[in-house]
Chain A
Amino acid sequence: DTAVSQTPKYLVTQMGNDKSIKCEQNLGHDTMYWYKQDSKKFLKIMFSYNNKELIINETVPNRFSPKSPDKAHLNLHINSLELGDSAVYFCASSQPGGDSPQHFGDGTRLSIL
């Protein structure tokens, strides 16, 4: 059973398009996250949600809009895609409290043409 699953795994699209990435976790966790891993493999937090409420927005452009319909899902919608958005996006989840180990999905590789 996959604990944290993301779809799609690959996303290739043109500059200026709008796209969404979906994430679901079956671990019963209350907290979910989006991270961006750039070409140098550095992982950086984008958003944190706890009980469907936004906790952290780490100076991400407002073209990126996360949505949490329930505690098990956290989706990421990106408007007007730019070349610099090309990266691997990871979803993660954890127990509440902010200091618990986070469990990651296998990522969505976004390529902007």
Chain B
Amino acid sequence: EDQVTQSPEALRLQEGESSSLNCSYTVSGLRGLFWYRQDPGKGPEFLFTLYSAGEEKEKERLKATLTKKESFLHITAPKPEDSATYLCAVPNDYKLSFGAGTTVTVRA
């Protein structure tokens, strides 16, 4: 069965303090890895898809990278509006297996 583990569980950052979130996975055959952002009281919002090792995607202050065993979400010079829970997930035949998420809090 696919397994997805995220670390750390929680991350408290000062505005402008860059950091990285980790998502490690164990799957029988990687068919992609998704990153989502979830705000309180909202559904997960799709951010990125990564398909192969070495691939990188960027959106504003976020950059996602992928290796054969893990993915990183780098947050560069974060702002308070980047505060959210970040989830990674792997697809497998009509379902997503999610990690437990990393809750990021950015203080002004």
Contacts and interface: CB of A to CB of B under 8 A. Distances in A.
A106 interface: yes
A56 B95 contact: yes
14 contacts: A42-B98, A43-B44, A43-B87, A45-B95, A56-B93, A58-B95, A90-B44, A100-B91, A102-B96, A105-B43, A106-B42, A106-B43, A107-B42, A107-B43
Given A40-B100, A41-B101, A42-B100, A31 B94 contact: yes
Interface string B78-102: 0000000101010111111110110
A50 interface: yes
Interface in A83-113: 90, 92, 98-107
A31 B42 CA distance: 21
B91 A103 contact: no
B34 interface: yes
B32 interface: yes
B49 interface: yes
B95 A106 contact: no
Interface size class of B (residues with CB under 8 A): 20 to 34
Given A101-B46, A101-B49, A106 B96 contact: no
B68 interface: no
A99 B42 contact: no
B69 interface: no
B45 interface: yes
Given A43-B44, A98-B92, A102-B96, 17 more contacts: A4-B43, A33-B94, A42-B100, A43-B89, A45-B97, A48-B94, A48-B95, A50-B94, A55-B94, A58-B95, A102-B34, A103-B46, A104-B36, A104-B43, A104-B45, A106-B43, A107-B41
B43 A98 contact: no
B46 A98 contact: no
Counting chain B CB atoms within 10 Å of each CB, which of A33, A42, A101, A106 scores highest?
Answer: A101
Contacts of A102: 34, 46, 96
A106 B94 contact: no
